[in-house]
Amino acid sequence: MKIVVIGTGYVGLVQGTCLADSGHTVTCVDIDENKVAMLLRGEIPIYEPGLDELVIRNAKAGRLKFTTDTAKAVAEGAEVVFLAVGTPPGDDGSAELKYLFAAAKTVALSLVEPTVVVTKSTVPVGTGRKLQAIFKETAKQPFFIASNPEFLKEGDAINDFMKPDRIVVGCDSEEAKKALTSMYEPFVRTDNPILMMDIESAELTKYAANAFLATKISFMNELAALADATGADIETVRKGMGFDRRIGHLFLFSGVGYGGSCFPKDVKALAALAKEKKVGNAVLEAVEEVNDAQKKLLAERVVERFGKDLKGKRIALWGIAFKPRTDDIREAPSLEIIDILLAHGATVTATDPVAMPNAKKLLGDKVTFFEDPYAAIEGADALLVVTEWNEFRRPDFARIKKALRTPVLFDGRNVYDPPAMRELGFEYRGIGRR
C-alpha cells in the first residue's frame, strides 16, 4: 500500500516507520525542515528506544521516505493518508486544530486517486465531521474519512505499535474499513481486536482512555497526601488495592504528577469539550487541579525544609523527562519544580540520561546540567528524584551521601525504601510513605 503520514513527531514517525517495516511504501511529511533534513541524513530527531534502527533499515530499503512537501507526497499517489500533526492546547484548554486543518486542506487539494484519510492526532469529538466538510468542499477525488486514535506510550512506542492491546477505527465507509483492516491485521495476529465504530465514538475513546489513566494518577496522589497526614503508607495501600481484580495494579503509583504531551492537554481538552456541550466536568477539573498541585509538591517540600529564601542553596534534580525512556519534556513536572526553586533563589543542577538537549534548549543557563548524576549532586543541599530512570533506582547511596552537603533526599517517585534510607543516614521523604 502507498501511505503518506503528515506530521513526523513522536506519533507520525513511529506510525510511518512501523508501517514501512511491515512492507508498505511510506512517505513521512513534516513542515519542520530541520527534522526532515535530520531524517534524510539518517539521524532521528526524537529519542524512542529501537526507532533509529528501524528508520535506517526501512529508509535503506526504499520503503520509507521523508519530505517537507505535503502536496507532492500526496500527488505521487496515496491510498491512505494519516494526519498525525500536533493538537496542543489552545488558550481555553480546547485542542488547537489549526495545524490539522491546514494539513487537511493541502491533502484535499492534492488527491489524485480515491484516498482514505485517517486522523491519528488526538482530536475532539466532531473533528472527523469537520474534516469531511473540508474534503467535500475541496477534493476532486473520492475520499473516505476515518478516525484511528493512537494509544502508544512514549518509551515503548514500537512495542505498542507492533503489539497493540486493541486498535480503534471510527469510520462510516467500507473503503476505510477495508483499507485499515488490511493494514492492521499483521499487528493483531494474537487476536487482539480491531474495534470498528463510528467516528465520534472513536474520537471520544481516545480522550476517555487518557483521562481515565490521569484520573487514576490524581486519585493516588490525593490519597498519598491523606497517607502522609494519617501515618499510612501509600505503597502498602497501593498493593492492597491493586490485588483487587476489579482495580488492578497499573497506574496506581503516586508521584510528582503526570506530564507529557498527552495527559495534561487531553484532560483539559475533554473538560473544555464537556463545558462547550454544557455537561458536567467536575471529575476532569478535579483531576487537573490535583495534578497542578502535585507538580509543585517537591519544590514546596524544599521550601518547607530550607526556608523561603533559597539563596546559597544548591538543589539537584535527577530526571527531567516527564517519564523514563523518553526525551520528551513537554509539561514535565521537573519544569514546574525548577521554576519554583529558581524563583526562591536556589541554584539548580540537573541530569537526565536523554532529555538534557531538550531541557538545555528550553532552560539555557538557568540550570547547570551534568552528564554524570554524581557530579550533579556534588555539594548540593538536597537531591530530588523526579524521573524514575532505571539508573536512578539502585544508585551508589554511599557516594550520594558523600557528595551531598546535607543528606536530604526527596524521592518524587517512591523508588527507595524509607527505613533503608534512614538507616543509611538520609533525611528521606517519599510521597505518602510512612
Q: Return the SS3 of 115.
A: strand
d(C-alpha 3, C-alpha 90), whole Å? 30
User: Among residues 261, 294, 347, 349, which is the contact residue for ligand NAD, using CB under 6 A?
Assistant: 261
Annotated catalytic residues are 262
Span of 29-37, 108-116, 131-139, 389-397 interacting with ligand NAD by CB under 6 A: 29-37
The sign of the torsion formed by the CA atoms of 234, 238, 240, 241 equals: positive
Task: Say if CB 5 and CB 82 are below 8 A apart.
Answer: yes
Using CB under 6 A as the binding rule, whether residue 48 contacts ligand NAD is answered as no
Q: What x/- string results for residues 105 through 144 when contact with ligand NAD is judged by CB under 6 A?
A: ----------------xx----------------------
**Residues touching ligand NAD: how many (CB under 6 A)?**
27
Chain centre to alpha carbon of residue 178: 30
Asked if 35 interacts with ligand NAD (CB under 6 A), we say: yes
User: What's the CA gap between 333 and 256, in Å, rounded?
Assistant: 6
Confirm or reject binding of residue 167 to ligand NAD (CB under 6 A).
no
Q: Is 94 in the site for ligand NAD (CB under 6 A)?
A: no
* Position 207 contacts ligand NAD (CB under 6 A): no
What mask of x and - would describe binding to ligand NAD in positions 285 to 314, judged by CB under 6 A? ------------------------------
Q: Applying CB under 6 A, which of residues 75, 79, 99, 397 lies at the interface with ligand NAD?
A: 99
Is 101 an interacting residue with respect to ligand NAD (CB under 6 A)? no
Half-sphere exposure of 155 (CA within 13 A, CB side): 18
Q: Is 203 in the site for ligand NAD (CB under 6 A)?
A: no
Q: What is the CA radius of gyration of the chain?
A: 23
Residue 212 near residue 250 (C-beta atoms within 8 A): no
Please, what is the minimum distance in Å from the beta carbon of residue 86 to ligand NAD?
A: 4
The yes or no reply on residue 148 touching ligand NAD (CB under 6 A) is no
Cα(250)–Cα(320) distance, rounded to whole angstroms? 23
Closest separation in Å from C-beta 261 to ligand NAD: 5
Among all chains, which residue has been given the C-alpha cell 554511599? Answer: 398
CB of 7 to ligand NAD, least distance (A): 3
Query: What backbone torsions phi and psi does residue 346 show, to the nearest 5 degrees?
Result: -70, 155
Name the strands in the sheet holding 368-369, side by side, starting at the edge strand that comes first in the sequence: 368-369, 347-351, 314-318, 382-385, 408-411, 427-429
Binding site for ligand NAD (CB under 6 A): 6-12, 29-32, 35, 70, 84-87, 99, 102-103, 121-122, 150, 152, 154, 261-262
